[in-house]
Amino acid sequence: MNDPLHLALTIGLSRGGSFEPPALLAEHLQGRGPAAALRAVAAMACLEAGARVPDSLPALDPAPAETQATLRPSAVSLLIIVCVSETWLLDEALAVLAERGMRVPHAVLAMLLGSAETKMRRRVAAVAGERGRWLGLHVKAHAWLRQAPRSADAAVLRRVFAEGSTLEREGALKGWRALDATAAREALSLDFSKDPADVRLRLLACLRVGLAPDDEPFLASVISDRAATVQAEARRLALKLPSSAISERMRLRLAQLLKFKRAELELDLSAPWLPDWASDGLLEPPQNHASPRSFRARQLACLTQPRDWLRLSALEPAEFAQTLCASVWFSELMSGWAEAGAALGALAEPLVEQLCAEFAAKHSARRDYQRIEAAKFAISQLDAASWARQLSALLHSEGLSEHAIALLPRPWPREATRIWAAQLRKRLSDVPIPKAGEPNPANTFYPAQARIGYELDQARQGIDPSHIEPALDTLNVVAEHPLVDRIESFQRALQLRLRIHMEFYS
For residue 80, count CB atoms less than 10 angstroms from its CB and return exposed for 0-12, middle for 13-18, buried for 19 or more: middle
If one asks whether residue 49 binds another protein (CB under 8 A), the answer comes out as yes
If one asks whether residue 364 binds another protein (CB under 8 A), the answer comes out as no
Q: How far apart are CA 195 and CA 39, in angstroms?
A: 74
Least Å distance between CB 73 and another protein? 6
Q: In this chain, which of 23, 27, 61, 482 binds another protein, going by CB under 8 A?
A: 61
Q: In this chain, which of 28, 30, 31, 38 binds another protein, going by CB under 8 A?
A: 38
Interface stretch with another protein, choices 44-52, 225-233, 296-304, 466-474 (CB under 8 A) = 44-52
Least Å distance between CB 113 and another protein? 6
Q: Give the contacts of 84 (CB within 8 A, at least 6 positions apart).
A: 111
If one asks whether residue 153 binds another protein (CB under 8 A), the answer comes out as no
Q: Tell me 361's DSSP state.
A: T
If one asks whether residue 434 binds another protein (CB under 8 A), the answer comes out as no
305-325: buried (b, 16+ CB within 10 Å) or exposed (e) per residue? bbbbbbebbebebeebbbbbb
Q: Which is nearer to another protein, 141 or 385 (CB)?
A: 141
CB atoms inside a 10 Å sphere around CB 54: 5
Q: In this chain, which of 24, 45, 152, 274 binds another protein, going by CB under 8 A?
A: 45
Q: Which is nearer to another protein, 137 or 197 (CB)?
A: 137
Q: In this chain, which of 29, 63, 393, 483 binds another protein, going by CB under 8 A?
A: 63
- Dihedrals φ, ψ of 260, to 5°? -120, 120
Q: How far apart are CA 131 and CA 138, in angstroms?
A: 11
If one asks whether residue 1 binds another protein (CB under 8 A), the answer comes out as yes
If one asks whether residue 6 binds another protein (CB under 8 A), the answer comes out as yes
If one asks whether residue 131 binds another protein (CB under 8 A), the answer comes out as yes
Q: In this chain, which of 42, 167, 283, 388 binds another protein, going by CB under 8 A?
A: 42
> 408 near 473, Cβ under 8 Å?
no
If one asks whether residue 85 binds another protein (CB under 8 A), the answer comes out as yes
If one asks whether residue 17 binds another protein (CB under 8 A), the answer comes out as yes
For 348, the enclosing helix (H) or strand (E) is: helix 348-360
If one asks whether residue 479 binds another protein (CB under 8 A), the answer comes out as no
Residue 69, amino acid: A
Q: How far apart are CA 187 and CA 194, in angstroms?
A: 13
Report the DSSP pairing between strands 258-261 and 264-267. antiparallel
Residue 79, amino acid: L
Least Å distance between CB 485 and another protein? 8
If one asks whether residue 170 binds another protein (CB under 8 A), the answer comes out as no
For CA atoms 245, 247, 250, 256, the dihedral sign is negative
Give the residue among 273, 335, 340 at the shortest CA–CA distance from 304. Answer: 340
Which CA distances in Å does 296 have to 271, 281, 332?
A: 11, 11, 9
Which CA distances in Å does 439 have to 129, 247, 340?
A: 48, 62, 49
Q: Which is nearer to another protein, 42 or 388 (CB)?
A: 42
Q: Which is nearer to another protein, 17 or 164 (CB)?
A: 17
If one asks whether residue 4 binds another protein (CB under 8 A), the answer comes out as no
For residue 261, count CB atoms less than 10 angstroms from its CB and return exposed for 0-12, middle for 13-18, buried for 19 or more: exposed
Q: How far apart are CA 329 and CA 331, in angstroms?
A: 6
If one asks whether residue 155 binds another protein (CB under 8 A), the answer comes out as no
Q: In this chain, which of 34, 213, 341, 345 binds another protein, going by CB under 8 A?
A: 34
Q: How many residues bind another protein (CB under 8 A)?
A: 60
If one asks whether residue 120 binds another protein (CB under 8 A), the answer comes out as no
Q: How far apart are CA 4 and CA 25, in angstroms?
A: 15
If one asks whether residue 436 binds another protein (CB under 8 A), the answer comes out as no
Q: Which is nearer to another protein, 308 or 503 (CB)?
A: 503
Q: Which is nearer to another protein, 233 or 469 (CB)?
A: 469
- Contacts of another protein in 65-84 (CB under 8 A): 73-74, 77-78, 80-81, 84
Task: Using CB under 8 A, list all residues that contact another protein.
Answer: 1, 3, 6, 9-15, 17, 33-35, 37-46, 48-52, 54-63, 73-74, 77-78, 80-81, 84-85, 106-107, 109-110, 113-114, 131, 134-135, 138-141
